[in-house]
Structure 1
């Protein structure tokens, strides 16, 4: 069976993710009617206009997991921006939202005048956090990237280094205020050049327990407020002021609640969280997990809890999934870059939208074993078409949908994109 989109009454699209193993046939054989019901009278949630998003990462070619180096020249510092297949893959979305960031984000400095030292690339070093030294984004490369983004029509969210200026604490966390000097210089340069940035995101996976290290929620809130001031000041005469996003980490209710409360009502536009709920890429049971309804349902609590926090605090902040690769450490070849992964991916899109998630960023557009595009050839993998189909068919209004008969068929309905129905 496959993932399918069916048009209903000309105004509603319903996506049904059908697990293999003859689930529908088994239900019928057992004498149970399989019934899908859609309540089209009102929307129960709403996504953003550009709900489907993808990421570009910083990993250099010598990033390897379990003896396999799956990134090639897909990192932001060495990606081939002249490849026409790559350009057209982005253009097809008109527009595609791109989140630039990832694990090495908080080790990137920017080659602006204030840097005061040579702008050098990442170097592999096993003794360093995440296995690499600090790297640098040269301004000429930033210029090249922005010229490409303009040509492709992409909407760009850039992840800033949130570790600058921190001091290590005895408990393994990082303390002290964020030194935003270098980041502010990059933002100022970007605005001066007229580059259109949809949002500036602070930090990557430093929330809660963190990955590699962590920062307390109170300090993080203060740093978000500092970023808000910088953006407001630099873009004060610009009618299209970029969004401020944070923290780009894994959801932990207490930590996220404190950040939201201390930036309420409107200092933080978007709260971003990451999803790798299938475990490590080397797991030999990934396919079973992808096709297990109970594993898929494990994410409901995260979406529901975050939605509840946002509603209860009275904030204007909205939720995005800022990075989601399913299986961490670069995924698994012939699983997370194969057709079977669409069962996980489409279910994630439907489930997150149901809980009012405004954008969902797939890790990655290219790179690793979970890219929408093949790292070597730039040709689309199966999930590229899943993402494009969703983007073109599913509107922003999410409708209440139920399916009875088997838990191996999962249905989600939206008003069709550009629908002119009375209800949609």
Structure 2
């Protein structure tokens, strides 16, 4: 099965851990930035930075086994049966109980990233049965692999409301959700939508199914192709316009730059509200991928997001001209992420990807996941923030919805992204990523700024430092004070292997007023 996943992604590249080496400084003719004159190039959705909670997290079930887990430590499922995706090795997975969406710490951390979208989907959503009764069955009905109870979905709705994260989802499309001729039926979707509305919930956006170009793995009927998808999508589209007309329709939600993605989009045959796609540079080591951490700061690794976006932008221009583009699932690697996904090393990919996609006009980016497996923003056991979470928090606090041209090319090792500063009319924020592991680099600023620099003793560390102090939750489970350091106008240097936000509230940029 891992070969099929790999075919839908880009590139495969054995794991080595790295420390930040001794470094030098290279300041010859540094780029110059005048924040007041950076032009506006576009805008992004206020919920641009978003995240996924997989359906299997909600119901409980077999999800990607953590790299450090022991087979004898696996929890016992509450009932027999397996929700292992079709064709996948069961040893890649481990049972996990349902996520506790009422947890105070989890809600506090998620709320700090709001407003956002929370996408409840994933491969397992394709074959999950919604038990529309007060007493859910102990076993999933024929044709389904998991059971979603009313109580579990109520927790999803209340979580979304408490953390200011609107729900995005997909629906069941497996054998249990089809008539005698194999055609999709809306019964399950109708029940779930009706219950959602009855408890005061709302579905902001929906894809028909998760990753139609991996349909067999997702539980679709054998031989499910673009023609079958097109037939079913038309039924889904008509149903949604009647049952939940305010819900945005996204599609196709395919993964990778594959010809099949084009076929599924062409088969949709309806006006989408936004084109959606998924992107992972590779598959994780648990699924047979080969990934060398040394390459993760390279332009080849980081620019993969541009190449796949170009593919989907061309499809959008052909089939849905002018429609917004949403990246509804992404992380360092499919199949739960690589071992270093939970370290500072992946924060470069995460923030650089946000910067690139915002500059390119993508409206929403949903990280997989909020708190599950190695690529979660939050550790699923301790519910402690990982380095990517701290990067996400700084992005949320500083990078506004108006995107500016940074005036710095990628010819150097400095990747510079510019936005209007959130909450400060006329203010500008810069994200400066030094991908050089060995040398410091510099910019010349015409205006003083407030500096927030993220670094680590080693790039493979699970702790991250802000301006030299390790970021951790306070004793009372509160976020720490996110304090800046003043930077005078003139030359500003950036240590090797660091990520820096510069806030310039007095930039007086007219595009930001």
Report if TM-score (shorter chain) is over 0.5.
yes
Q: Deviations over 1:279-326 (max 9, x none)?
A: 314457442232222121223221122223323445353211111121
Task: Name the larger-Rg structure.
Answer: 2
Q: Deviations over 1:332-391 (max 9, x none)?
A: 34x111111101111111112222211111111001011111111111111111112112
Mapping 1:73-152, distance limit 5 Å? 78-112=98-132, 119-120=137-138, 134-152=145-163
After TM superposition, give the deviation of residue 56 of structure 1 in Å.
Answer: 0.6
The CA distance in 1 between the partners of 2:322 and 2:410, in whole Å, is 39
1:274 aligns with 2:278: yes
Instruction: State how many pairs are aligned.
Output: 380
Q: Which residue pairs with 2:50 in the alignment?
A: 53
One of 335, 338, 352 as aligned partner of 1:332: 338
1:188 aligns with 2:194: yes
Q: Deviations over 1:387-412 (max 9, x none)?
A: 12112221223233353585432122
Q: Higher mean Cα deviation, 413-422 or 289-298?
A: 413-422
Secondary structure at the residue paired with 2:170?
strand
The normalised TM-score by structure 2 is 0.65
Q: Higher mean Cα deviation, 399-408 or 92-101?
A: 399-408
The CA distance in 1 between the partners of 2:95 and 2:247, in whole Å, is 24
The CA distance in 1 between the partners of 2:147 and 2:215, in whole Å, is 26
Q: Structure 1 residues 400 and 64 mapped into 2: Cα distance closer, same or farther (>3 Å)? A: closer
Structure 1 segments unaligned to the other structure (5+ residues): 1-18, 124-128, 168-174
Q: Higher mean Cα deviation, 82-91 or 274-283?
A: 274-283
1:119–1:135 Cα contact (<8 Å) kept: no
Q: Which residue pairs with 1:161 in the alignment?
A: 172
Q: Structure 1 residues 381 and 327 mapped into 2: Cα distance closer, same or farther (>3 Å)? A: same
The CA distance in 1 between the partners of 2:159 and 2:264, in whole Å, is 34
Mapping 1:189-208, distance limit 5 Å? 189-207=195-213
Secondary structure at the residue paired with 1:326?
strand
1:245–1:271 Cα contact (<8 Å) kept: yes
Secondary structure at the residue paired with 1:198?
strand
2:257–2:311 Cα contact (<8 Å) kept: no
After TM superposition, give the deviation of residue 264 of structure 1 in Å.
Answer: 6.3
Mapping 1:3-402, distance limit 5 Å? 25=24, 27-28=26-27, 32-35=28-31, 42-57=39-54, 58-59=56-57, 60=60, 62-65=62-65, 68-69=68-69, 78-112=98-132, 119-120=137-138, 134-164=145-175, 176-207=182-213, 211=217, 215-235=224-244, 241-252=246-257, 254-261=259-266, 263=268, 266=271, 268-282=272-286, 285-333=291-339, 335-402=340-407
Q: Deviations over 1:120-172 (max 9, x none)?
A: 4679xxxxx9xxx70010112212322232223221112212334688xxxxx
The normalised TM-score by structure 1 is 0.77
After TM superposition, give the deviation of residue 263 of structure 1 in Å.
Answer: 4.6
2:283–2:334 Cα contact (<8 Å) kept: yes
The CA distance in 1 between the partners of 2:359 and 2:123, in whole Å, is 28
1:91–1:153 Cα contact (<8 Å) kept: yes
1:207–1:247 Cα contact (<8 Å) kept: no
After TM superposition, give the deviation of residue 27 of structure 1 in Å.
Answer: 4.1
2:256–2:280 Cα contact (<8 Å) kept: no
Structure 2 segments unaligned to the other structure (5+ residues): 1-18, 78-93, 427-508
Q: Deviations over 1:170-209 (max 9, x none)?
A: xxxxx95322221122112222332122122221122278
